[in-house]
Amino acid sequence: MARIRLEKLRHSYVAAPARDADWALKDLDVQWDDGGAYALLGPSGCGKTTLLNIVSGLLRPTSGRVRFGDEDVTDRAPDQRNIAQVFQFPVVYDTMSVYDNLAFPLRNRGVPEAEVDPRVREIAALLDLDAMLAQRAAGLTADGKQKISLGRGLVRSDVNVIMFDEPLTVIDPHLKWRLRSKLKELHQRIGLTMIYVTHDQTEAMTFADQVVVMHEGAVVQIGSPVELFERPRHTFVGHFIGSPGMNILPCEVRDGVARFAGMAVPTANRAAGVASGARTEIGVRPEFVRFADQGIPVRVVRVADAGRHRIVETRHSDSVIRVLLGEHQAVPAHTAHLAFDPAFTQLYADGWLAGEAR
Amino acid sequence: MSAKTVNQRAWWLVLPVVVLVGFNAVIPLMTVVNYSVQETFGNNRFFFEGVKWFSEVVHSGRFHDSLKRQLIFTAIILAIEIPLGVAIALAMPRKGFWASVCLVLMSMPLLIPWNVVGAMWNIFALPDIGLLGWTLNKLGLDYNYTRQPFAAWVTLIAMDVWHWTSLVALLAYAGLSAIPDAYYQAAKIDGASGWAVLRYVQLPKLKHVLTIAVLLRFMDSFMIYTEPVVLTGGGPGNATTLLSIDLVKVALGQFDLGPAAAMSLIYFLIILLLSWLFYRVMTLGEED
Amino acid sequence: MLELREVARRVGAQTHIHPTSLALRQGEFNVLLGTTLAGKTTLMQLMAGLVPPSAGAVWFGGRDVTRVPVQQRKVAMVFQQFINYPNQTVFENIASPLRVARTAEAEVRSRVGHIAELLQLGPFLARRPAELSGGQQQRTALARALVKDADLVLLDEPLANLDYKLREGLREELPRLFAGRACTVVYATTEPSEALLLGGYTATVHEGRITQYGPNGVVYREPADLVTAKVFSDPPINVAQVTKSGRRFHLSAQVSWPAEGRLGELPDGPYTVGLRPHNVLRAAGKDGGVPVDCRVLIAEISGSESVVHFDLGGMAWVSQSHGVHGFKVGAMARFELDVSRCLYFAPDGARVGG
């Protein structure tokens, strides 16, 4: 199986959708290549779980096709698509041992016992579950159960895609980190296509090679974590990715140059071609703002200590501009000037990156 | 023990209930205990007899017979109603208009007063004018529950199954509705057959609900009185004289208060013991 | 001001809270930081009076309130699962504590209106909670807690069920909402970054004990012991065993560094060193950085930073650095330990330097 392609996918949970808001997914065209690690990132209600369930076959789309390689699988049931899915809440068969849980998908498909045993043990070792094979699955902690769910997907040799629906939701925060790294390690070792749905940008950005950012049922941008971070195509992507998100400042455009606070602000993209009457904004991440001797005058309002860096909130009239400072850099007392790194400052028109095709 | 930050006034509100329960339950219970250790020859004169009544009851063949009948009845009832109730719950739709229709239909048998249930089946199964009795006889079966012990048993069990299976079905339905969709979805992806889903997902998740259902049905069927009395009166002969019916015959029929009181207490203790055993077995292996 | 004096809670044979004393600061955010099941919720329940302590006393404003029932204390609580009265409108939800106190209708309207403005719930006052989004439902619960003007406001992981962006937004708003009020605020969370960003004071909770309580910066940079350092780190703090001999700390035969200043006066012997991942950097020739050559195990590159797991003499250490750097899994790479930021712990866990 080569790649997964979604063509003109639309989905509505309402029987007769009339308005835009009735559609959970609005006209998606996405392609995922074999073996990659992908993330579907977006806030609650953006449609990412709907999309995941359509790919896995648990949901039939209102219109559009799903193709695995060259085959149209839109009408096929989940167990005929060679996929595995890990859900938000760990799903284990309580009455069975860890071993039996892992063996379950193989036994259901009639795999002979002699083949089941080495496979189960191999996957259990990969997931650090080998010491617990004889235990009852119900007695494990949440992260152990999620590993079993994951293991049930890995144990099948016919699986081509593993899908994760916010799998770290119920995991203890201090274990979340470990399980996340484990998933990354697994991907680096096994090389299966993995699609990961989350609303947490840290999870998405550290796990995936390509992130699909979704907002209100539509794909806003697809790109590598670096691209999404350095060159967001939409202010939503700038805002949603990064903690804290991008500073978005209303500006005006005169003679092809963006102007904020009465000063010209050099931007990485050109302001030419911006329709008059469009809402223009400058986007720059706190990481690329620094204090300087001259520049935009601001007053320092608040300093939040995040341990390894500090977030300084400054204001220029009504606009809030955040600056990221290292743990031991000095913070100006009351007033200061800000300079934006031109290579990472972008101009947006009506939310979209100016000068780009939508 | 530490003092609680509770409102002490709450105790005063409970007092009327305590008085009522005391009057209606505790004092009569004490009276029964009192009677069970005494003998009377009328004229309100009582003689202390110790455990005489208890040993008489425990050794009486009549008591053994009715206890045996009761145990067989309860066993058959549980064996039929629990699986049947679960099967009905599995078949009932989860959502939509028909789900409401099914729920209403299932609730109906439970709403009928118990003596009316007995009376309904009494007439329904009459071999000459009852629809069921008449049909069975027309089909060639020689069926007359007023004369044949076997027919009486079958009718009694059929009546109880009709009356109470809905309770098990409704409880199981509630339990099934609580299973998150993710379990079914994961089972689908794992390629599990319908039987495997039942065995590995649904039944384990129904465990608590089934424990309650089994306990309730056990206790109720063990104490059953109204329906069999109205249906068969304990007959033919004493073919369907279950424990409670026998007890009433002894107490009110023969006015032997002593043995009746002793029998009541033994009855109560048997139910207590068996319920406890059931509960322990069903919750075996669970952590708190 | 709320004080717990030798308060303990035992349920059956289990001790949920060991005898603990804590004096919370009024007018500040007091954060209870710890993993799930550490005892944060139990502590909050003890503070509110929802459960009685098995030993010890709870004092508030100079009075012993241990026996006072919770309805008579002026306490407000917000939970993780957006708890609202489902059949009442948002307005009624927020007004409910005022109605219980039999406040005049005019005052109810003005106070509810004011709080709703503050929490941006103005347009939603006529709706039911089920019609609102998660963030709005939690704001309703917050509004209900705030309108009461309680002396003690308890927030038990209120943002845990929200999207991370919503969480960020509300987290910024919360200190602003409580600024200028005279109440004591207690906030429970499992995330160290949240504790830091909220500002104020932090009490680290671990297995039913409070290991340290103080201003955020102090607990973070000067943890009393190894347990506190571990609780207050995300990603988890890197830990290794070192031996001090002469005036140097030895991590392994190849890696050692001088024990500067006060550290030099410590007795020789084994110590545990803790170094947070953001102090383990990609080699850049920095002064004071101790280079180590290790094999890369896992590389997690997000848009703005690189988190790399590597093998340091058999232990899995983590480095977190700003910027995107390429790391090849399985290859050797050079990292620098910023030893000036190391925390040193004696074998019994107490911090001795750093």
pLDDT (average), residues B67-76: 93
Average pLDDT over residues C265-287: 84
Compute the average pLDDT of residues B56-60: 84
* Residue B7 confidence class, pLDDT cut points 50, 70, 90: low
- Pick the residue with more confidence: B88 or A153? B88
When pLDDT is cut at 50, 70 and 90, the band that residue B192 belongs to is confident
Question: Which range, of B6-20, B171-185, C331-345, averages the lowest pLDDT?
Answer: B6-20
Whether the CB of C133 is below 8 Å from some CB of chain A: the reply is: yes
Q: Flag whether residue C264 sits within 8 Å of chain A, measured between CB atoms.
A: no
Residue C204 burial by Cβ neighbours in a 10 Å radius (0-12, 13-18, 19+): buried
What is the per-residue pLDDT for A357?
Answer: 56
C3 vs A204, A241, B71, C23, C39, CA distance in Å? 42, 41, 61, 4, 17
Distances (CA, A) of B152 to B112, B228, C229: 22, 10, 77
Distance CA C180, CA A67 (A): 59
Nearest residue in chain A measured CA to CA from B200 = A93
**Is 90 exceeded by the pLDDT of residue C212?**
yes
- C-beta neighbour count of C72 within 10 angstroms: 11
List the one residue out of C17, C161, C137 whose CA is nearest residue C80. C161
DSSP string, A267-279: -SS--TTPPTT--
Mean pLDDT of C167-180: 85
Nearest to C304 among A44, A188, A242 (CB): A242
Q: Measured between alpha carbons, how far is A250 from A264 in angstroms, rounded to an integer? A: 13
The fraction of chain C above a pLDDT of 70, given in percent, is 99
pLDDT value at position A169?
84
- Do the Cβ atoms of C52 and B5 come within 8 Å? yes
Q: Under a CB-based contact definition with an 8 Å cutoff, are residues C154 and C48 in contact?
A: yes
pLDDT in tens, B89-113: 999 988 889 889 999 999 999 999 9
C114 touches C181 (CB < 8 A): no
To test the contact with chain C by mutation, choose from A181, A222, A288, A344 the residue with the greatest count of C C-beta atoms within 10 A, namely A181
Q: Which two tokens stand for residue C288?
A: 């004071």
Q: What integer pLDDT is reported at residue B288 of this predicted model?
A: 40
Instruction: Check residue A356 and give its pLDDT.
Output: 67
Binary contact (B5, C55; C-beta < 8 A): no
Say which residue, A185 or B3, is predicted with more confidence: A185
Q: What is the pLDDT along chain A (358 residues), one digit of tens a residue?
A: 568 888 888 888 887 778 877 788 888 888 888 888 999 999 887 888 889 889 988 888 888 999 888 888 888 888 788 888 898 888 999 888 999 999 999 998 888 999 899 999 988 988 888 888 888 888 888 888 999 998 888 888 888 889 999 888 888 777 887 888 888 888 888 888 899 999 888 888 888 889 999 988 889 999 988 889 888 999 999 998 888 889 999 988 887 788 888 888 888 887 666 777 788 889 999 989 988 888 888 999 888 888 888 899 999 888 899 999 887 788 888 888 999 998 899 988 888 888 765 5
The residues pairing with C309 across neighbouring beta strands, listed in sequence order, are C298, C318
CA distance B198 to chain A (A): 11
Locate all alpha helices (DSSP H) within B125-180, ordered by sequence: 131-138, 149-177
User: Which residues 30-69 of chain A have a CB within 8 Å of chain C?
Assistant: 43-45
Kindly tell me if the per-residue pLDDT of B6 is higher than 80.
no
The answer for residues whose C-beta is within 8 angstroms of residue B279's C-beta and 6 or more apart is B211, B215
Q: What is the pLDDT of residue B166?
A: 94
- Contact yes or no for A56 and B189 at CB 8 A: yes
- Residue B282's pLDDT is 77
B178 interface with A at CB cutoff 8 Å: no
Q: What is the average pLDDT score of chain A?
A: 86
Q: Write down the pLDDT at residue C235.
A: 82
Please indicate, yes or no, whether the overall pTM of this predicted structure exceeds 0.90: no
Asked if B8 reaches chain C (Cβ–Cβ under 8 Å), the answer is no
Say whether pLDDT at C326 is over 80. no
CB pairs < 8 Å spanning A and B: 49
- Give first-to-last CA distance, chain C, whole Å: 33
For the segment B128-142, what is each residue's pLDDT rounded down to a tens digit? 898 998 999 899 888
pLDDT at B43: 66
Is the per-residue pLDDT at B163 higher than 90? yes
Is the predicted pLDDT of residue B164 greater than 50, yes or no?
yes
Cα C193 to the chain's mean position, in Å? Answer: 7
Q: What is the DSSP string of A166-223?
A: STTTTS-HHHHHHHHHHHHHHHHHH--EEEEEES-HHHHHHH-SEEEEEETTEEEEEE
Q: Cβ contacts (< 8 Å) between A58 and chain B: which residues?
A: 185, 188
Name the one residue in this structure whose structure tokens are 């995107």.
C324
**Cβ neighbours, 10 Å, residue A236:** 23
Chains linked to A by 3 or more Cβ pairs within 8 Å: B, C
Strand partners, A83: A161
Confidence category of residue B74, pLDDT binned at 50, 70, 90: very high
Q: Which residue of A has its CA nearest to B205?
A: A94
Chain segment C157-166, per-residue pLDDT in tens: 998 888 888 8
Residues of A with Cβ-Cβ distance to C133 under 8 angstroms: 44-45
State the complex-level ipTM: 0.81
Residue B3 pLDDT > 50, yes or no? no
- Nearest CB partner across the interface for A200, out of C35, C36, C164: C164
> How far is residue B85's CA from residue C270's CA, in Å, rounded to a whole number?
67
Task: Average the pLDDT over B155-183 and give the result.
Answer: 93
State yes or no: pLDDT of B88 exceeds 90: yes
In this model, does residue C189 exceed pLDDT 90? yes
Closest CA to C2 of C68, C54, C97, C98: C68
> Model confidence over C120-169: pLDDT tens digits?
888 888 888 888 888 888 889 989 888 888 888 999 999 888 888 888 88
Q: Tell me how crowded residue B209 is: count the other CB atoms within 10 A of its CB.
A: 20
Question: Any chain B CB within 8 A of the CB of C267?
Answer: no
Residues 282-301 of A with CB under 8 A from C: 285, 287
Q: Taking residues B157-162, report their average pLDDT.
A: 95
Query: Contacts of residue B205 in chain A, CB cutoff 8 Å?
Result: 94
Binned at pLDDT 50, 70 and 90, residue B271 comes out as confident
Q: Are A202 and A170 in contact (CB under 8 A)?
A: no
